Every structure is written in structure tokens, then in C-alpha cells.
Structure 1
Amino acid sequence: MPHARRHLITFLGLSTLVLGSLTALPAAAAGPHARAGEGRHGVPRPVPADMPTFIRRYSEDRGDILRFYASAWSETRHDRLAALHRERKEALKAIDFNTLDQQGRIDYLLMRNTLRNADAYNDLDRRRLAEMDPLVPFRPVIRDLEERRWRMERTDARAASLDLAQIPAQVKAIRDRLEKGRQGETPGDAAADPATSPLSVGPVVAQRAAAAVASMRSALRWWYDYHAQFEPGFAWWVEKPHDLAQQSLDEYAAFLRREVAGLKGQDDDPLIGDPIGRETLLQDLRNECIPYSPEDLIRIGEHEFAWCEDRMKEAAAEMGLADDWRAALERTKNSYVDPGEQTHECTRIVREQIEFLTSRDLLTIPDLTTELWRLEMITPERQKFWPFQYYGGLHIGVGYASDRQSVEERLQAMRGNNRHFTRIVVPHELIPGHHLQGHMAARHRPYRRAFSTPFFLEGWCLYWEMKLWDLGWARSPEDRIGMLFWRMHRAARIIISLRFHLGLMSPAEMIDFLTQRVGHEKNNAVSEVRRYIGGDYSPLYQCGYLLGGIQIRALHQEAVGAGPMAERPFNDTILTMGTIPVEFIRAAVLDIPLSPDHEASWMFAGSLQQDRPAER
């Protein structure tokens, strides 16, 4: 799992699609008064002559807009994004699809899908904002003050003080309504005053509103500091009402978070996520070129899970435990290295894996990728989100026991990162996994980072996990248990993440599934679910691992198993395509004709089920 990348950053519960790595971009390209399609001085933008330029320009412009209109709780931000999307859709239509080569056509369709999906998430953000609006009646005041500062308008200190003076009373009124709702009071008859009637909200909306209030409080502080230090007389009017507003907002955010959402800052706090629902899942699947419904994917996950259970039983029998794979898993988890030895174990595995790959001529491994990497330990605090390993760009984060953990926490960390689990996790993160993948992506079509998808980003690593299974990377039944545990874990991620977003499974039930059905340590299961639903990853991210691996495996069967390509050229070639949906990599590798209205049609799981060998 690449810790440094994020495919969907949810800010204040408002999911903002951030397309690839948008760091180190220039300042805002258009002021708050510029029209869509115009530069800083109102000059129409020419349509780029090539798709890479079109894509880079969109990524730059979108990044500028997101940074300039920084308040995710402002309609202005959503309006400006919608205008950008409309303008780029029109510009895309002006490009003659038939004049593009195959890679250009793929870029065209990637851009079309991205704009379509960005619009869908912009609409979702608007709906989520409207859903929490009753909890933040002071939002228009803070928004307007902030946006007047963006427009560099003069501030009327007296008028601003009167606006801010209303906020404590507004906070008190809404808190009173929420308290009535928590006490079980009902609104009564239709004539009841909506300004004082009881109000009830669930923990999801309460958590979203708490984050929004905290952000508004920060924006208000920036606004005040911007004026107070440099405008004589401003503080005379505004200081007192501003300070009272700050205090009431701070207390209100804590009330929403602790009392309404139930998040008291304790280790046993409930996990709260924001499901997106079936319609948005379908839109995401369309964007990822997956021609299956969420229910279809759950069935695929269940099928893969059952396959893993069968292989687990076979390994358990070899260990003298009949078909009791859970007993075999327990024995495997208790085979861990001593504290302080985990990085040395990982280093040994890296060297063994590189030799394993090169001796079989499976793919090209550039010298820099074998030179430029290191290991770093994950702190106990961060292990609450990353209990195993992650790839952080030239280094792997490694989870293991720490002297700042309790004895039980240390044992769970060691059992969860035992020798046999770690043996397959290290190749996933380093070589041939994310480290090699990232090296190649930075050097081949880097503009396609704008379309980064977990179905290739994580699917590439799962493809290799399955290939290493076929090639005999496991040395013992315990090693096979370790490999199967992770593949079962990825099948479970499909099942539980989709059920969560469909509203069919709670976070607590997700944790139970990982502990009872997969065999995770409790703390590790909690960490995993916390990350799945926390908003830092796209809703389909957890599905991307195994489903993406199945996709690449199916493509391999077409191109190598039944086609003209050899193993090494195939693996080298697909790493030069960028982290894009596998359907488009397939179109490039097999030279499949594309049209401007192309939609996903490749039933990769169906063909794989039909052609799968008995033992994988």
C-alpha cells in the first residue's frame, strides 16, 4: 500500500477528488472573477495540440482552484469546479478523436471519464453540504467574510462585528435543539417553531459537521489576523465578538464530536465512516472501467475467499492439523522474529526476492531501484492506521513491537507481522511491487498520474502475489498460509468495503469479519477498518487490490498465455502505461479499437473463471 499517495481525499466529509500528485504547482491561474475557459486576463485558452498537454493543464488548473478556493464548505468552490469541468468537456469535444493514435485515444477517454467522475463527486459534495447545513447556521457569515477577503474587498469592521456577535446565540440555539433530540423529544405538531424544535442527527453527519466547524473556526481566525494586524481600528470593533465566536465554535465542535458522534478521544471510540451509496459506487465503477455491479463484485470476492479457505485447509493438513486452517494460522502467527530483528528479516527477504526474479528473467529491474530504498519503523501511534507495512517513496514503513506499547499490543504487532506474513508483504511494497512501479511511473508517461487507479496501483502488486504463488515463492505450508492469509484478506476487503458503502455493514461488523473470518489480530483489524472508512482512500480502493490483480492476470493470459508476447516484455510494457484502468492497458497491449463513446465491456472475471487452472 503506497502511504504517500491518495486517490480520494475526504476533507470535512466532503470528498474532493484530487487527481494524482499535484504538489509544487504554481499560484492560482485565474482570479475569483475569471470566467471558465479564460486565463488571468480573460484571454480564451487555446485547445492543446496533444492530449498530454491537455491533461497536464487540467491537473494544474484544478490544483490551483482547489488551493485558492480552499474552504470545502463553500458553494463557491463547487461552482468554480463545475465551471472548470464544463469548459474542459467542451474543449475535449473539439478534439478530433480519429486523428489521435492509440495512446492519444486512451488519454482522451481517460480525460472524459475523469471529468464525468469529478462532476459526480462535486454533486455529492453539494449534497453532503446541504445535509449538514442545519447544524451550521453560522456558515454563511463565515463564508462571506472569507470570500470578501479572497476578492480583496474592503471590510466594514462595524458590520462584521454585528455579524460575528450573532454566532454564540446561533450556536446555543442549535445545541439546545440537538440536546432535545438526544433526549428523545419530538417536534410535535406541524405548527411548531422550526428554530426551536428538537433536531436529531446520526454520528456520520455529526462528525462531518464537527470537522466543518473546526475548519470554519480556523478560517475565521485567519480572516481576523489578516485584518487586525494591519488595519487601525479594526480590532476595536471586532476583537471581542470574534473571541466569543471562536470560543462558542470550539465548544460546539467538541460537543458535536464527543456527545453527538460519540468520539471522546479514547482507544475504544466507535469508528465512523461516510458511505457513498450504490449510485455513486456505480459511477466509480464506470470511471474505473469495471463492467460489474457492486453485488457482482461481492460475489467475486466471496468466490476468491472460498478458494483461499480450501487452500488453507490443504496447508493445514500438511502441517498435521487435518483441515483446521485456523489452528494452522495460529501456529503460523506465532513464528515471529525477536524484537529489533524485523528490519533485518525484511532486508533478507528483499535480497532473496530480487535474486528470485532476476534468475527467472521475469522483468527488468533498474539498478537504481535496488540501490535507493531503506526501511523505517512505524511508530505505535501510526500503527493505529498502518499496522503492517506501507511504501512511502524510497522507503518501506515497517510495523513491529515497540517499547511504547503494552505487552498485549507488542504481541499483536509481532503476531501480525510474523515471518510468513512478512515474506509476501515485502515484495508487495518494494520489488516487484510499489517501489519498482513508482520508479517506472515517474519515467514513463508521468502525466498519467492524474488518473491514478488502485486497480493498477495495487492490482500490479496482487498480480505478482498470485504469480509468486504459481512460481513457488512459498517454501513451506506455513509460507503458503502467510500468502493465503493476505489473499483472503484482499477478498475480504472487497466484501466488507462494498457492503459498507451499500449500507449493509457497520464498521463494527467489518472488524468482526476481519477477526472471525480472516483471522486478524483485533488491534490490526481495527486499524485496517479505520483506514478503509476514514476518507483518505477512494471508496473502491480496497477492491482494487485483488480485482486489479485478477484483471492483470486475465490480460496476461490473453497476451502471453494465448498470445504472442513473452513474459518479460509483457511485464516491462505494462509498467510504462501509467497507473490507469487495466481495460485501457489491455487496449494498448492488444491494440483493441477504441471509439469516443467507449464504455467498459471487458468481463475479465468471467473469462478468468472459465480459463482458470485448478491450482493457482
Structure 2
Amino acid sequence: MITPLFSVPVPPGEKTAEYEPIADRIIRIIEDLANLQAFYKVRSSPSRYRRLQTFLESEISALKESPFDELDQEGQVDYLLLRNYLRYQLGGLFHDAEQESKVLPFLGGYFPVRLARMIEARQNVEDADGKQAASWLVEVMGHIAVVKKRIVEGTDKADPVVALRATKTLAELKEHLQEWYGFYKDYDPLFTYWVSDPQSKLDKALQDLIDTIKKIAIGIEPGDTDTIIGEPIGRSKIADALQFEMIPYTPEELIEIGKKEYAWCETEMEAAAAELGFQDWRSALEHVKQLYVEPGKQPQLVRDLTKEAATYVKNHDLATIPQVCEETIQTFMMSPQAQKMNPFFLGGDSIIVSYPTSTMSHEQKLMSLRGNNIHFSRATVFHEMIPGHHLQMHYMSRHRPYRQAFFTPFSIEGWAFYWEVLLYDSSSWPKTPENRIGMLFWRMHRCARIVFSLKYHLGEMSAIECVELLVDWVGHERATAEGEVRRSVMGDYGPLYQAGYMLGGLQLWALRKEVVGEEEGKISEKEFHDKFLKANQMPVELFRALIKKQLLDRDLETRWNFYDELS
């Protein structure tokens, strides 16, 4: 049970209407929460936590009073989606408050709260007193100088995770203060007279403190964009995420699934390597990496592979592809800087192609060419475009679009990985040994993602060890391995995002075995795929309940041991 952060009354009008339609309720809550988060924007402020806690608890209470049994099955699924969402949001709020409570003492406690109050006063358009504001800014600079001195002298020390969060808190305050000053500057001449000098100095002092913390408490030089640092969230938060995603396995059990799937991939790799005349799969992988197109030719390759994948799905009647979906795929090139985070091309609404540019070093160019070779790219196309992300995103914006709020990697990444499994298994999808090695490279990569992401968040692996795992297990180029880990631990991803690719795909593969076939009571592949696309975002276990027309109750918890059915 979660201990309340604050004891606060429910604001008037916060309770929802007793019989508010569930879809309308979801849309209202998502919009209300977005408005509140945008307005109460200072993460170090107690006001933010109080207001969001009040909102979430009141909506959870109101949802419990709604007539679950009177809803049809789609409505009951919406109820359960909203219930899980509100619970998870509240848990995340408590986690953020707990983490922030460790940051404030490291920063001396006083000045972040003082700055937060000034920013919030501007949000409420309170009358500005320039002279008083200037005095507060000068006072804050004195506190910053003390905090910096204590850090430099070693009096104040912090865990690198706390120190990293402190730099993010300071960067956020710095950005908000620039907006705060810009709101009054010149529109209030007296305010500008008093505040312009201390505000400029405070902006530099905040940046100087950020740089000091990075250099001394974290151990990286200011401006370093290569070092990988993240924030492991720990076992309890992983457990919360597993409950939210309706996954009934422990982190250790999921790691074992990743290892078991990896062993299968190795056996398949060895068979493909033998067909090419190699004695081991790593040598065959090196051969495949050399099969890349010349610089300037990658967009054409990706274009042709995209057409091949879409044509295959249509010819085999595997899913309904709307004409507009196929017609409006746009292609862009990824910048060298973005390729540090995303070394392979991305897809979804559009294709964003990674490939070397003239600004890269010779070594970087070669690694990018090898990492984006023909057969890796072929395996990526149907994951990213049609029938993967691009097709699913087309449906998401058109069928029950309010469910996009319940975004889950087990659905969106699981769907894309599921097609990797289906096409590898299909005798009608053309596969040379090189093609199979390209597909298996990515499948091994998904196995490694389960292992390294969970072990990282459990505190059992460092970021550098994660990079080494990708190089050793999968055969990644070191630069692409670093990019993958950097994206995993420094991007805006949840703790289960990387594990969600393979695990979500295996869930769909297990469900396909249950419901697809020619026997009475089963459905065609196309119907299965179309139903999933039109269901939008949800844990796969809830989609299973939908497609199997299972009875639901408002207290439903995860119970589908999907991997046991595949073993």
C-alpha cells in the first residue's frame, strides 16, 4: 500500500459524474492531467506533488464508484485500462517525490524551493515586486556558492544517481527562470531595472553548479555527450511496472526467458552460418556486415525494401493495409548527432535513415555502414514500417484513439517484433542464409535487451557492462552498442521498454497459437491482425480477453503465463 505524500482535501468539483461514459472519462482525465502537469511544471515544488496527488486519488476513488457491470466488454476493458493507468501514475508520482527528497538536501534544501515559488507566482500572474525578486535572486546566489564550495571541498557527497537528478532539477529551474524573466522583461520597466543584472548572474551560477556537480560528483566533463549515465529504478519500481503491463513473471524469470530465447537464436545462427560455409556464426555475421550499399544509396534500398514488405502482406492477405497508409510514407535522413542515440534507422509515421555522413570519422563511417548493411536493413523494414509500426500507428489514430494514452511497449514494440517471428517462421517469406542472419541478429538483440535492461535497473549491471553484453552476445559494433545502451538508459523510456519488444511479441505469438486456425471457433490470420490493430493500445493480456470474449471483473489482475504455453 502506498503511503500518502500529503493529506489534502479534494477541491470542489473534482469528483466526476457518476455515470460519465468511460471513453469520455478517459479523454477528460488524460486532458486534465496534461493541463495540470503543464501548469504545475516545477518538479522540485511540493505544490506540484500535492495537486497531482489530489487529482489522481480523487479519480481513482470516483472510478471505483462507476457501474462496471453495466459496461459492455470494450467498456470494461477501458475501465481496467484507466484503473491501471491511474494507479501507475500515482505510483510514479510517489517515486518522483521520493527521489526529489534525496536531491533537495544535496542542494542545500532552500534555494530550489525559493525559485520554485517564484516561478509558480509567475504562473499565477501574481503582482511582481522587482526589488524583492532581485533580493531573492542575490540571496539564492549566496546559497549556490555555499553548495558549490561544499561539493568542491568534498563536504557534500551524493550517489551519482542523486547527483544526476540534481543536474536535471537545476537545468529545469534554469529554463523556467529564463521564461519567468522573459515574461516581465521590458513589459515591466521597474522589474527589468532591478532584476536584469542578478538574473543574468544567477543563470551563469546555476550552469556553473551543474558543471561542478557533473565533474566532481558524477565524474564527467561539462559538454560530454558520450558518457552513458542513467538512473536505475530498483526492484520495487520494476514490480510496479510489471503489474501495470500485466506481466505475471518476476524480473529473474524474464531474464531466464531472454537467455533461453538467445540459446535458440544461437542454434539457428549456426545453421545459417554452416550453409554459407562458415564454421562459426560470428564469422558469418562479419560476412553479412560487409554487404552494404555505397553512401548515397541507402534511401533507395530502404524504399525498395519497404515496397517488398507491403506487397508481401497484401499478396498473402495477412492484414488490411489502407491505401493512404501505404501511399504517404515519408523518408528523412538522421543527423550524425542523432545517430549517437539511434544508430539504426527508425520508422513509424516516417522512415528516418541512419547512414554515414562526411562529418564522421573514418571509423564511425565504417561502423555505420556495417551496422546498417543490406540484411540488417531488410529485417528492420517490416518491423518499422508495414506491417509494423507504420501500419499500427495509422490504425491507432483512427480506431479508439483515446487508448493511445495507454501506450505500452508490449503492444507497439511487441507487434513489430511479432512480425519478425512470424516472417522468420513463414515458408513463403523469401530468406537466404544472409537474410536469416540479419533477422537473427535483431532477434538476439531483443534477447539481450531483456537481460541488460532488467539487470541494469536491478542494479546488477553497469552501463559499460550493458555495452559489452551487446558486443559479446549479439556482435554489435561498439558504436552501435553504445548508442543502444545510451538510448535505453538516457532516453525517455520506462524500465520495461526494451524488454517489451520480445516479450510482447511472444505474447502475441502465444495468443496466435490459441485463436488462429481453420478449426471451428478459430479465426483467420487477417482477422486476428485487424482486430489487434483496431483495439489500439493495451496490455496483450487484455486484448486476449477481448478476442476470446472472456468475462471480466473490476478487480482483474494479471494471470496469463504466456511463455509457459510456448515452452
Give the TM-score of the pair, scaled to structure 1: 0.87
- Whole-angstrom CA distance in 1 between matches of 2:121 and 2:198: 19
| Higher RCO (CA 8 Å, separation ≥ 6 residues) | 1
Residues 556/84 of structure 1: CA separation in 2 closer, same or farther (3 Å cut): same
> Where does residue 29 of structure 1 map in the other structure?
none
**Secondary structure in 2 matching 1:375:** strand
Residues 82/558 of structure 1: CA separation in 2 closer, same or farther (3 Å cut): same
- Whole-angstrom CA distance in 1 between matches of 2:316 and 2:179: 59
8 Å Cα contact 1:48-1:54 kept in structure 2: no
Residues 147/266 of structure 1: CA separation in 2 closer, same or farther (3 Å cut): closer
Amino acid at match of 2:341: F
8 Å Cα contact 2:106-2:156 kept in structure 1: no
Find out whether 1:580 has 2:538 as its counterpart. yes
Amino acid at match of 1:220: L
> Where does residue 140 of structure 1 map in the other structure?
113
Q: CA RMSD in A?
A: 1.8
- Out of 75, 80, 83, the position equivalent to 1:104 is 75
> Where does residue 368 of structure 2 map in the other structure?
413
Q: CA shift at 1:151, angstroms?
A: 2.7
> Where does residue 5 of structure 2 map in the other structure?
none
Q: CA shift at 1:392, angstroms?
A: 4.5
Q: CA shift at 1:227, angstroms?
A: 3.2
Residues 174/503 of structure 1: CA separation in 2 closer, same or farther (3 Å cut): same
- Cα offsets for 1:541-566 (capped at 9, x unmatched): 10110000000001101111475111
Q: CA shift at 1:36, angstroms?
A: 4.5
Residues 471/54 of structure 1: CA separation in 2 closer, same or farther (3 Å cut): same
Amino acid at match of 2:547: V
Find out whether 1:451 has 2:413 as its counterpart. no
Amino acid at match of 1:166: E
1:23-102 to 2 correspondence within 5 Å? Answer: 36=10, 38=12, 45-102=16-73
> Where does residue 210 of structure 1 map in the other structure?
167
- Cα offsets for 1:205-238 (capped at 9, x unmatched): 2222112112212222332333342334334443
**Secondary structure in 2 matching 1:504:** coil
- Out of 283, 287, 307, the position equivalent to 1:351 is 307
8 Å Cα contact 2:516-2:522 kept in structure 1: yes
- Whole-angstrom CA distance in 2 between matches of 1:269 and 1:398: 21
Q: Show structure 2 runs of 5+ residues with no match.
A: 1-7
1:209-358 to 2 correspondence within 5 Å? Answer: 209-264=166-221, 269-322=226-279, 324-358=280-314
Find out whether 1:606 has 2:561 as its counterpart. no
8 Å Cα contact 2:333-2:354 kept in structure 1: yes
Q: Which has the higher helix share?
A: 2
Find out whether 1:376 has 2:349 as its counterpart. no
Amino acid at match of 2:89: A
Give the TM-score of the pair, scaled to structure 2: 0.94
Residues 217/544 of structure 1: CA separation in 2 closer, same or farther (3 Å cut): same
Q: CA shift at 1:165, angstroms?
A: 1.7
8 Å Cα contact 1:263-1:269 kept in structure 2: no
Q: CA shift at 1:474, angstroms?
A: 4.6
- Out of 411, 421, 425, the position equivalent to 2:380 is 425
- Cα offsets for 1:227-275 (capped at 9, x unmatched): 3423343344434433332232121112122343233256684210001
- Whole-angstrom CA distance in 2 between matches of 1:415 and 1:535: 24
Q: Show structure 1 runs of 5+ residues with no match.
A: 1-33, 182-197, 610-616
- Whole-angstrom CA distance in 2 between matches of 1:573 and 1:458: 17
- Whole-angstrom CA distance in 2 between matches of 1:571 and 1:391: 20
> Where does residue 131 of structure 1 map in the other structure?
102
- Cα offsets for 1:577-611 (capped at 9, x unmatched): 011100010000001111110000000011111xx
Q: CA shift at 1:149, angstroms?
A: 2.0
The percent of aligned pairs where both chains have the same amino acid is 40
Stretch moving more, 485-494 or 248-257: 248-257
- Whole-angstrom CA distance in 2 between matches of 1:268 and 1:51: 45
Q: CA shift at 1:87, angstroms?
A: 1.3
- Whole-angstrom CA distance in 1 between matches of 2:467 and 2:112: 36
- Whole-angstrom CA distance in 2 between matches of 1:447 and 1:72: 26
Residues 113/168 of structure 1: CA separation in 2 closer, same or farther (3 Å cut): same
8 Å Cα contact 1:37-1:45 kept in structure 2: no
8 Å Cα contact 2:348-2:389 kept in structure 1: no
Residues 104/204 of structure 1: CA separation in 2 closer, same or farther (3 Å cut): same
- Whole-angstrom CA distance in 1 between matches of 2:458 and 2:476: 24
Residues 508/305 of structure 1: CA separation in 2 closer, same or farther (3 Å cut): same
Find out whether 1:115 has 2:86 as its counterpart. yes
- Cα offsets for 1:32-71 (capped at 9, x unmatched): xx97564xxx586424531110100001101101111121
Residues 223/353 of structure 1: CA separation in 2 closer, same or farther (3 Å cut): closer
Stretch moving more, 44-53 or 478-487: 44-53
**Secondary structure in 2 matching 1:376:** strand
8 Å Cα contact 1:262-1:269 kept in structure 2: no
- Whole-angstrom CA distance in 2 between matches of 1:83 and 1:268: 38
1:459-478 to 2 correspondence within 5 Å? Answer: 459-472=414-427, 473-478=429-434
